[in-house]
Amino acid sequence: MEQIARIRVLIADDHDIFRDGLSLLLLKEPTIELVGDAANGKQLMQMAKELHPDIVLTDLKMPEMDGIEAIQTIKELYPAIKSIALSSFDSDAMVIDALEAGAMGYIIKNADRGEIVDAIRMVYTGSPYYCKTTSGRLVKLIARSEFNPYKADASKLFSDKEKEIIRLICEEKTSKEIGELLFMSSRTVEGHRVKILEKMNVKTTAGVAIYAIKNGIYNTYQE
């Protein structure tokens, strides 16, 4: 049987305990190959040059060279390498800086293994990843930022009914509430949700909202 190539990942964080824990987590994932770990931005740059990973998963606050500068430099020198930012709860502005510097996604540092793997897989395929715990404030900041990985006229993928559901999802309505407003069952709404996420190629409600805002389907966050 032909062996499936694994996603080559390089991680960077200046805290040894966190870096060791993340390394152990990724080593348990059969679809991922951990190729190295760096303790600062300069070491990250050197290892990216030598190891040519598919994905760099990096903290944003590091000595010698911070993660944002490293992300920007990696994008310029090694455009085939995709970056994911590791953020803290209180670092919304840094997440925006990282996305505008070239990161294709972000997750908080205490994300579980499943979400970290999802983020790596999504970004590896060229799609952005937005953390499940993304706040409304951060969604607004991303909507107003220069970060926009979506193709032109992407909104044409959706029917009028799907656009109605998307707008209600952006307003944080539950499937039951959407069903009551649009006179359909919760099960039917859930079916539409699945199709919408598939068309957008996103995993989270934040991803739906950001996609909708960037493509003109929903604009309340920009008012």
Query: DSSP letters of the chain?
Result: -PPPPPEEEEEE-S-HHHHHHHHHHHHT-TTEEEEEEESSHHHHHHHHHHH--SEEEEES--SSS-HHHHHHHHHHH-TT-EEEEEE-TT-HHHHHHHHHHT--EEEETT--HHHHHHHHHHHHTT--EE-TT--HHHHHHHHHSS---PPTTGGGGS-HHHHHHHHHHHTT--HHHHHHHHT--HHHHHHHHHHHHHHHT--SHHHHHHHHHHTTS--GGG-
Instruction: For residue range 144-176, list pLDDT tens digits in order.
Output: 898 888 776 666 789 999 999 999 999 889 999
pTM (2 d.p.): 0.86
pLDDT in tens, the chain (223 residues): 445 679 999 999 999 999 999 999 999 999 999 999 999 999 999 999 999 999 999 999 998 899 999 999 999 999 999 999 998 766 888 999 999 999 999 999 889 999 999 999 999 999 999 998 888 888 888 988 988 887 766 667 899 999 999 999 998 899 999 999 999 999 999 999 999 999 998 888 899 999 998 888 887 644 4
